[in-house]
Structure 1
Amino acid sequence: MADIFDVIADGTRRDILRLLLDRSTAGENGTSVSQIVSSLGVSQPTVSKHLKVLREAHLVSVREVGQHRYYSLLAAPLDEVDDWLVPFLDTADLEAEAAALVSLPEPAAHAAELVGRAAASAQHAVANALKKLPGR
């Protein structure tokens, strides 16, 4: 399997992943190749080539209905990217963004940000630990 960072390094593949994420968030049950071609304005052979790479990296699943194929996002392999990226996040920037979004007094906004980051880190650690259990 290709390195996940090599797979997502390509802008077209990132665009496809974003499109699949947006459509799944909107409740879509798969996106056809023709919908991807139409949305991104990229040729069908190019989209098919990139979908093959994404399939091999287990970032998308495919459902076949007759002659049509419908693709859906499988975000689990992106956990490796998340694990690598988290240490690089600048907490000062995140705290400033949180404070701008919520009009809490500075000490309360800071406390809320710390609690939120701790909860997200704990959730991520538990999810990764569960994935490593035998039989899962």
Structure 2
Amino acid sequence: MADIYAVIADPTRRDLLRLLLDRRGEGAGASPSAAAPATQSSPSAPSPSSGDISVGDIVTALGFSQPTVSKHLRVLREAGLVHVREVGQHRYYSVDEAPLTEVLAWLEPFFPDPSPAVAPGAGAARTSPVPVPAPLRRAAGNLPDPSDVGASLGRTVAGARSRILDPVKKRLGHREQG
């Protein structure tokens, strides 16, 4: 089995997983009693109501070539991150989130618990503010206001454009007159 971290490190495969996850959310409202066709590739493959999506629909949705999509789906399938259902010559994919629980369990310690403490005094060490060193506080005070970033960037780009184009225009104008 491929290293799941290496598999999900690729941005194309993450895009595929996101699409499959979104599609699963759309298919959640469908009737759970719908039976899957007998041509499934495995008993654990998804039913039509589970939000599976064809390779052609994935190609259309993401704008990748069919060979690229197929190659990345194969890697995801070998890592156990997707289920495939075959109907004739068509393949339908859906996400299998079970292997991702391993990744989530590994990542959880890196994020603080955003929920408030259940009992008074419980988790106080985690929720107390972390002291910020004075140099970092000063540096943060010098950062621009986020609302001004767009205007500042626009002025900077306009100034750079002017500094580049003005000499070019002068040179071209000078040649046309001579």
Say yes or no: TM over 0.5. yes
The TM-score normalised by the length of structure 2 is 0.51
CA contact (8 A) 2:25 2:51 kept: no
Partner residue in 2 for 1:11: 11
Report how far residue 29 of structure 1 moved.
Answer: 3.4
2:98 to 67, 76, 96: 76
Deviations 1:7-60 (A, max 9, x none): 000001011001001001101531000111111111100000000000000100
**Cα-Cα RMSD:** 1.3
Count of aligned residue pairs for this structure pair: 96
Letter in 1 for 2:108: V
Partner residue in 1 for 2:80: 58
Deviating runs (4+, > 6 A) in structure 1? none
The TM-score normalised by the length of structure 1 is 0.67
CA contact (8 A) 2:83 2:93 kept: yes
Deviations 1:103-122 (A, max 9, x none): xxxxxxx246xxxxxxxxxx
Q: Percent identity?
A: 66
Partner residue in 2 for 1:21: 21
Which protein has the larger Cα radius of gyration, Structure 1 or Structure 2? 2
Instruction: State yes or no: 1:85 paired with 2:107.
Output: yes
Residue ranges of structure 1 left out of the alignment (5+ in a row) = 96-109, 113-136
Q: Secondary structure at the match of 1:62?
A: strand
Higher helix share: 1
Partner residue in 2 for 1:41: 63
